[in-house]
Amino acid sequence: MNILLKSATIVDSSNSDYHLKKLDIHIQDGIIKDIAPNIDVSDNVQVIEDHNLHVSIGWFDSGVSFGEPGYEERETIANGLYTAARSGFTDIVLNPNTNPVPDSSSDIIFFKNAARSNAVNIHPLGALTIKSEGESLAELYDMKSAGAVGFYDYKRPISNPNLMKVALQYAHNFNGLVISFPMDKQITGKGIVNEGEVSTKLGLKGIPHMAEELNLARDLFILEYTGGKLHVPTISTAKSVKLIAEAKKKGLDVSCSVAIHNLCFTDETLLGFDSRFKLMPPLRTNKDSKALLKGLKDGVIDFVTTDHRPMDIELKRVEFDNAANGTIGLESAFGILNSLLGLENTIALLTKGRERYGLSNPSLKIGEKAVLTLFNPDIKYTFTEEDILSSSKNSAFLDSKMKGRAIGIIGNNQLIH
């Protein structure tokens, strides 16, 4: 690789020498060789000079699902990684919701090997319990040694509080990250949407706020007793933000994320019975969305995730009650966040979160490995199916107005552009 990024506006608030300045960046053999206002290079250099080219360190997503192995019709690893790259992501945390569920070191090694020659890095999660059945702990230490960055029964709450206690105590011995989906299954029952005025209008069974909040309060209470590291993915209520804030004030080692769709959609979106908006956790009220956004700006919520979850058409184009949960979100992430939060806040969020998973942050400096995202923050467009690169097309963001588009990435001595 021998590339010159020409007249690229650098967005990197951690580096005042470069931040929001238009500079040339020379990359050779995957290393940043020079950053200057005008770099003269030889004829054998590939020059990237896109209109309104911007660059930041590579984007990170803490919650991505594919399908392979087991559900290749939803998404393969190869196409999923290509989608991530074209969407601007150089690093993804891969959810353990394949078939079989990755609950051993050999499963983790499979995912690491699958992305070994790719521009995008996969950081796999292992299941917290065997087969994610919530009965017995999986091989946590062995999976950590093989490269797992955390342990999670994807979208399945741990009903047994003693199992959660033992998991936190055991993982604490090797600095393992326990991830717990906040949902009390007994209170949720057969609910499929947020319980409230909209669910009553639609005649759909509701999931009350306390189904999330009770489980979260329980886990935080256990964490205070055991110590260790806990991550709570995709919180969705105002009370959950408050509970996390209180736990952090106590000094508990807890982090949380919010899905992008819970920031910009509410349960009123469901009035059209469109199964693209059937999600877990469900879309909540306008009050909740505002509280989530405030929690994100205040730093109570640590980072955003696309919660990218491909589902093939047969699982979505059915009656709302029977439709599968989930939306894809990689392709639309930047355009939505940039419209909602502005450029600098968006880049800060999209480059945040690696440390929580024990990963090092890339650096946009001379002599460092080039782990970069290329994008145009000003282009305005309507998101359509033509913008979807995923094998599955179940996007809640279709027909949404976007501002900004990812152009590609540079990672592992490769350019995807």
Amino acid at 167: A
121-124/151-152 β-pairing: unpaired
Q: Is residue 84 a contact partner of residue 143, using CB atoms and an 8 Å limit? A: no
Catalytic residue, chosen from 91, 103, 184, 307, is 307
**All residues at 6 or more sequence positions from 170 whose CB lies less than 8 Å from its CB, including other chains:** 137, 140, 176
* Whether residue 253 lies in the annotated active site: no
Question: Going by C-beta distance under 8 Å and a sequence separation of 6 or more, which residues neighbour residue 64?
Answer: 80, 84, 89, 92, 93, 94, 95, 305, 306, 308, 330
- Indicate which residues carry an active-site annotation: 307
